[in-house]
Amino acid sequence: MRMVRVRAAAAVAAVMIVVQSLVLVSCATIGKFNGFANWNKCESLDALKSYVESVTSAGSPDYIPIGDRIAVFDMDGTLCGELFPEYIEYMLLAHRCLDDKDYVASPDLVNVAKQIKESGVTYTTPKVSGFDLIHANAQAKAFAGLTPEEFISYVGNFLEKDAQGFEGLKYRDSIYKPMVDVVRYLQSRGFTIYVVSGSDRMICRALVCDQLDIPSNQVIGMDVTLVATNQNGKDGLDYQFNDGGKDKLVRGDSLMIKNLKMNKVLNIAQEIGKQPVLSFGNSSGDVSMHEYVTSNNKYKSMAFMLVADDAGRDQAYMEETNKRIAQWQKRGYTIISMKNDFKTIYGEGVRKTL
């Protein structure tokens, strides 16, 4: 009997070794880091590498255990382009309401879509008070009734379109190459990456999950309601899934939360449950996230702001950019300059046309 147990234990140990080897191989293929080929030598990159070395080196006074190495990234303007001439989600709504022959938009939705198109002539956001929320509510209505899978598929098809204002670039490939390097680097050093965006969570999943090897449950964004097809307006506490017939889960027509400013902090605290140690953003919508990460943190922490200052290779408003640089430096954030720090933005063969 003892011999049988010994053999069984040996067999289990062998299986565990094989499983662990497979896990290691699998992890090695995800987030593989090949260096900072898309960066110039610069202070911002040196600061990031110095920080990471400090917090990941055993014996360092700044050492952070792997489970607490959490980095949060804004998406639009931080991980990917945001001026085509608008945010990708704005362009998606305009396409849905004005160009999709299979969808008939209401006059209100058409009006919002036209505001997006008209502002795009000068590559500016619509000069309408509270347009973030106007767009978010319109987006909820325009895609109501689609299952999450149908919506993500719709977004995926849209992302295959040529990015407006550029030659040789599709929306799907509008992720900044240097920021891919950063994500890969952090993943290789044991950091868990979360995308924390003001854009629709499902749009973010369609754009970044495959491109950056980030699981869908590590994407936080704007949320609309989700309802059962037979729920018919009943509160979730008053309806059981499948009680009204065979149900599907679909997008509702109401906004739940626009994930900007303080709402980013709220969602990070609720969904991650830990205070991150690194934060990357590009606008005032990310300041609350940065302040939360760098305030009263038991670990060494840093915040980076990427500024759009390269009018030759991307859209840039230098007057606004210069104001932002001064504000961010005053707050102690590390500035990443697209013009000076990025060797390339979208990769070879991409040219700005407007």
31-82+168-221+257-352, superfamily in CATH? HAD superfamily/HAD-like (3.40.50.1000)
CA 5 to chain centre: 50
Structure tokens at 161: 């379109």
Report the C-alpha gap between 1 and 10 in whole angstroms: 14
d(CA 316, CA 308): 5
pLDDT reported for residue 126: 87
Which stretches within the chain are classed as H helix? 2-29, 43-56, 88-98, 107-119, 131-142, 148-159, 177-188, 201-212, 262-267, 287-294, 318-331, 338-341
pLDDT single digits (tens) 105-119: 999 999 999 999 998
The two three-digit tokens of residue 308, written as one number: 């759009």
Q: Which of the given ranges, 114-118, 124-128, 196-200, has the highest pLDDT on average?
A: 196-200
User: 12 Cβ partners below 8 Å, 6+ apart?
Assistant: none
Say what the pLDDT of residue 30 is: 47
pLDDT in tens, 133-180: 999 999 999 999 999 999 999 999 999 999 999 999 999 999 999 999
Q: Has residue 3 got a pLDDT over 70?
A: no
Q: Does residue 24 have a pLDDT over 80? A: no
Domain boundaries, the chain: 31-82+168-221+257-352
28-62 burial: b if 16+ Cβ within 10 Å, else e? eeebeeeebebbeebebbeebeebbeebbeeeeee
Residue 162 per-residue DSSP state: B
The token pair at 116 is 């997006």
Q: Please report, as a single letter, which amino acid is at residue 143.
A: F
Mean pLDDT, the chain, whole residue set: 91
Bigger pLDDT: 284 vs 121: 284
| pLDDT mean over 208-213 | 92
Confidence of residue 5 (pLDDT cuts 50, 70, 90): very low
What is the model's pLDDT at position 1? 44
| pLDDT over 70 at 16, yes or no | no
Taking the C-alpha atoms of residue 168 and residue 180, their distance in angstroms, rounded to an integer, is 19
CA contacts within 13 A on the Cβ side of 71: 28
Among candidate residues 91, 97, 229, 96, the one with its CA nearest the CA of residue 151: 96
Q: What is the DSSP string of 92-111?
A: HHHHHHHT-TT----HHHHH
The C-alpha atoms of residue 212 and residue 209 are separated, in whole angstroms, by 6
Q: Tell me what pLDDT residue 31 has.
A: 52
Residues in the chain: 354
- The pLDDT-based confidence of 207 (bands split at 50, 70, 90) is very high
Minimum mean pLDDT among 9-23, 31-45, 111-125, 262-276: which range?
Answer: 9-23
77-81, 292-296, 319-323: segment of lowest average pLDDT: 319-323
Taking only the tens place, the pLDDT of each residue in 29-77 is: 345 898 999 999 999 999 999 999 999 999 999 999 999 999 999 999 9
Let me know: does 351 contact 168? Beta carbons within 8 Å: yes
Name residue 294's amino acid.
T
Q: Which of 12-26, 52-66, 191-205, 296-310 has the lowest average pLDDT?
A: 12-26
Core vs surface per residue 98-114: b (16+ CB within 10 A) or e: eeeeeeebeeebeebbe
pLDDT of residue 245: 96
Beta bridge partners of 224: 255
Determine whether 149 is exposed, middle or buried from the number of CB atoms within 10 Å of its CB (0-12, 13-18, 19+): exposed
**Amino acid letter at 56?**
T
Cβ neighbors of 96 (< 8 A, separation 6 or more) are 103, 105, 113, 142, 143
